[in-house]
Amino acid sequence: MVKTLTIDLGDRSYPIHIGAGLLTASGLIDRHIAGRQVLVVTNDVVAPLYLDPVMASITAPDKASLVLPDGEAFKTLDTVNRIFDALLERRYSRNATLVALGGGVIGDIVGFAAACYQRGIPFVQVPTTLLAQVDSSVGGKTGVNHPLGKNMIGAFHQPRAVIADTATLDTLPDRELRAGVAEVIKYGLIRDAEFFHWLETNLDRLLQRDPAALAFAIERSCRNKAEVVSADEREVGLRAILNFGHTFGHAIETGCGYGKFLHGEAVAVGMCQAADLSARLGLLPAEDVARIVRLIERAGLPTVPPAELDSERFLRLMAVDKKNVDGRIRLILLEEIGRAALPQAVPVELLKATLDEYGRTVV
């Protein structure tokens, strides 16, 4: 069964199709390719699993594929340039379509290449990780990392469609599944208390890959993301809540070297730190912080940062964040489970208290 949600953005609106077996049986990828030229971009882990069936399902006469090296460490401008090389070598024009087949790293790189090539060409997101299916493939944020900051180079560029084949999650390693669960928990925390309760009850089913539980969690997450993005595409206000835990998390990713902590793992730690800080500011009861940490722990995710990042280093890394204004760190905090506040500057001594506390609990 296919579930279809819509990102409502006027003439740039697009569908998110969710279901098992969509890569091949449905003909859906083909339906969202307008021109004759298609470049499917994937990586050397996903290609042996899914590239052949995807290529076979595309009927455009001038189709090709490009297989990039796997990993966050390759989410760079050099890699984007490899996509430009492939497009130019084949003389692909402005109505060529890029297809991003893979996790969030592939989706972000390919989306950025699509945003830039000849000032913008269509692309289709075919996410194959839980994290990409619930978050990164939806909403049009594209980009790459800079050695000094995560996702610092990028563009907003919406895909023509998102095609999430839940059957691809069968081959996903457990650690990657758990990283995706971190972003699922995020939606419960920032705007969906009922979903947070559901996760408290059904987390084990999710971790055991129960198809019905996965399908429900993916759809509910995408519904939350679709509502936020449809209301605030360019992150003028509300959309910032999707970054709950991410300022801490990005500091961990940049500070440890890209790829050491998975994005979802870093966000999991960041959500614990952001919850702790919310309590220090008197916004969130201590029992709720404990509930949040407990669920994240049960998901097999880390709840404390790596020992190598002391508070001073953390603060320096957190100073490079897209939510900051005039050099001041602004954070998303929780007012209760299921309700996040818009970004706010926080007293630096309270932020340091959280960082010091977490520095002490390092294992």
139 to 178: interface string for ligand GLY, x by CB under 6 A: x-x-------------------------------------
124 to 143: interface string for ligand GLY, x by CB under 6 A: -----------x---x-x--
Phi first, then psi, for residue 105 (nearest 5°) are -65, -50
Nearer to ligand NAD by Cβ, of 49 and 315: the residue is 49
- Do the beta carbons of residue 228 and residue 241 sit within 8 Å? yes
Question: How many angstroms separate the first and last alpha carbons of the chain?
Answer: 45
Task: Determine the Cα–Cα distance for residues 106 and 136; give it in Å rounded to an integer.
Answer: 10
Taking CB under 6 A as the binding criterion, the range among 135-143, 211-219, 229-237, 348-356 that sits at the site for ligand NAD is: 135-143
Name which position in 105, 284, 318, 346 contacts ligand NAD (CB under 6 A): 105
Displacement of CA 236 from its chain's centroid (Å): 19
- Do the beta carbons of residue 159 and residue 137 sit within 8 Å? yes
Instruction: Please choose, from the candidates 135, 137, 90, 131, the residue with its C-alpha nearest in 3D space to the C-alpha of residue 110.
Output: 137
**Residue whose token pair is 């290449």:** 113
Nearer to ligand GLY by Cβ, of 280 and 321: the residue is 321
| Residue 233 contacts ligand GLY per CB under 6 A | no
| Residue 72 contacts ligand NAD per CB under 6 A | yes
The least CB distance from residue 224 to ligand GLY, in Å, is 11
Residues contacting residue 290 through CB under 8 Å, at least 6 positions apart:
none
Q: Work out the angle at residue 52's Cα, subtended by the Cα atoms of residues 93 and 215, and round it to the nearest 5 degrees.
A: 100
Name the active-site residue from 89, 91, 119, 287: 119
Task: Determine the Cα–Cα distance for residues 261 and 252; give it in Å rounded to an integer.
Answer: 7
Name which position in 17, 157, 239, 330 contacts ligand GLY (CB under 6 A): 239
DSSP assignment string, 157-200: ---SEEEEEGGGGGGS-HHHHHHHHHHHHHHHHHH-HHHHHHHH
239 is catalytic: yes
| Residue 75 contacts ligand NAD per CB under 6 A | yes
Binding partner of residue 243 among ligand GLY, ligand NAD, none, CB under 5 to 8 Å per kind? ligand GLY
Binding site for ligand NAD (CB under 6 A): 43, 45-46, 49, 70, 72, 75, 102-106, 108, 128-129, 131-132, 135-136, 139, 141, 151, 168, 171-172, 176, 179, 263-264
Binding site for ligand GLY (CB under 6 A): 135, 139, 141, 239, 242-243
